[in-house]
Amino acid sequence: MWIEAEKLCKAFEHKQAIDQVSFSVRQGECFGIIGPNGSGKSTLLKLLSGIIPADQGEIRLGGKRIQRYSRKSLAQWMAVLQQEALPPVRFTVREVIEMGRYPFQNWLGEDRNETVWSMDHILSRLALTELSERTLEHLSGGERQRAALGKVMAQSPSLLLLDEPTTYLDIGHQLLMMDLIREWQQECGMTVLAVLHDLNLAALYCDRLLLIDEGKSVAIGTPDEILQGERILQVYGTEPIVIRHPTAHLPQILLQSRR
């Protein structure tokens, strides 16, 4: 197993945000974390990225406890793509993508590590070549999010953590973002761990799902095993209609009014 979490616990001001959560993710897998608002998804991702420490439990990356990694060495293994696009600051798209190489630079700012792709290849891959010298303040939200993806691509991580990266994107850009990430994952054998708000996207792009509620693990399994009407009703408090996607043959959720 590439990443393992064992009996993780985290509390804030005497409120238990994460309570005895355990799971493991295989190398090259896309593993989704889903659950209602306030269920602890983002807190769990912060624990896994090392941003905050767990009160109890253990996280291992490649068989090594996360505490044994320095911040810089952890950044050479792992990258995080946040839900909010980059702020509209006065950096160009190329400069932002080049920032992804920071963990590999020495104290002189020299980068002697081989990269999977050149900056020009990343720009081309993300359709950002014509925008490369434009500053972020002159980009749309979708363009800024592609620039953020370019930054983590330049980092060449073995593990990519996604914190609801499609939240502020329209449906076309949501699919574009997730397709780009899946293509990258399949080419590089990268492991992806994604917190996703949209259950339909989670079903289409994740191999397995962890459903959490009130900080506790409810179930772990394939989209078919997790996205069932009775379980959605139990956790989300609304009874959906679950259908099969006509081409992907995966479960999709249709909402129905309570009236």
Neighbouring residues of 69: CB distance < 8 A, sequence distance ≥ 6: 50, 61, 77
CA 183, distance to chain mean position in Å, is 15
Q: Which domain holds residue 170?
A: 3-226
**Residue 236 belongs to a domain:** no
Neighbouring residues of 148: CB distance < 8 A, sequence distance ≥ 6: 81, 82, 85, 86, 96, 165
Per-residue pLDDT of the chain (259 residues; tens, 9 = 90+): 589 999 999 999 889 999 999 999 999 999 999 999 999 999 999 999 988 999 999 999 988 899 888 887 887 789 999 877 676 678 899 999 888 877 666 555 555 665 555 788 889 988 899 999 999 888 888 888 889 999 999 888 899 999 998 888 889 889 998 999 999 999 989 999 999 999 999 999 999 999 999 999 999 999 999 999 999 999 999 989 999 999 999 999 998 887 6
**Residue 258 belongs to a domain:** no
pLDDT single digits (tens) 44-93: 999 999 889 999 999 999 888 998 888 878 877 899 998 776 766 788 99
CATH code, domain carrying 113: 3.40.50.300
Angstrom distance (rounded) from CA 202 to CA 224:
11
**Residue 235 belongs to a domain:** no
Instruction: Tell me which residue of 166, 232, 229 sits closest to 201, measured CA to CA.
Output: 166
Angstrom distance (rounded) from CA 34 to CA 209:
7
**Residue 101 belongs to a domain:** yes
**Residue 244 belongs to a domain:** no
Instruction: Write out the DSSP string of 11-53.
Output: EETTEEEEEEEEEEE-TT-EEEEE--TTSSHHHHHHHHHTSS-
Task: State the total domains in the chain.
Answer: 1
